Amino acid sequence: MKEYKEVIRQLIKFRDERDWEQFHDSKNLALAISIEAAELNELFLWKKDINSEDVNLDKLKEELADILSFSFLLAEKHNLDIFEIILEKIKRNAEKYPVDKAKGTAKKYDEL
């Protein structure tokens, strides 16, 4: 938990030193997450039978870091605890996808 808060502190420090908070409204942070996710997808575009050896790990780390950084900043902007909201989502998903119905299938919850 301590490390997560330090990451947020460092992100804010980096942003504030450059006077970028003015650009970090919710819409722009959400767009940045989407754009970075598209860049992550691009690492896998046109490749067959992807496995861990087929992806450039340095680029993977870079794109994931971008996505997570913008996600952390968006959560912080709205005073959301990322671990709390993820645990809440896991609980809701567990209700939508009970093990006895969802195990081993990729069906959506309304198709189970």
Looking at the fold, whether 34 and 20 belong to one and the same domain comes out as yes
Per-residue pLDDT tens listing for the chain (112 residues): 578 889 999 999 999 999 999 999 999 999 999 999 999 999 988 877 666 567 889 999 999 999 999 999 999 999 999 999 999 999 999 999 999 988 888 888 788 8
Domain range enclosing 74: 2-80
Looking at the fold, whether 67 and 95 belong to one and the same domain comes out as no
Looking at the fold, whether 50 and 100 belong to one and the same domain comes out as no
Domain count of the chain? Answer: 2
- What is the pTM assigned to this prediction? 0.86
Looking at the fold, whether 92 and 61 belong to one and the same domain comes out as no
Cα separation of 97 and 58, whole Å?
34
Looking at the fold, whether 71 and 96 belong to one and the same domain comes out as no
Looking at the fold, whether 95 and 72 belong to one and the same domain comes out as no
97 DSSP assignment: S
C-alpha to C-alpha distances, 3 to 10, 36, 92, nearest whole angstrom: 10, 23, 26
CATH no. for residue 39?
1.10.287.1080
Looking at the fold, whether 67 and 109 belong to one and the same domain comes out as no
Looking at the fold, whether 65 and 91 belong to one and the same domain comes out as no
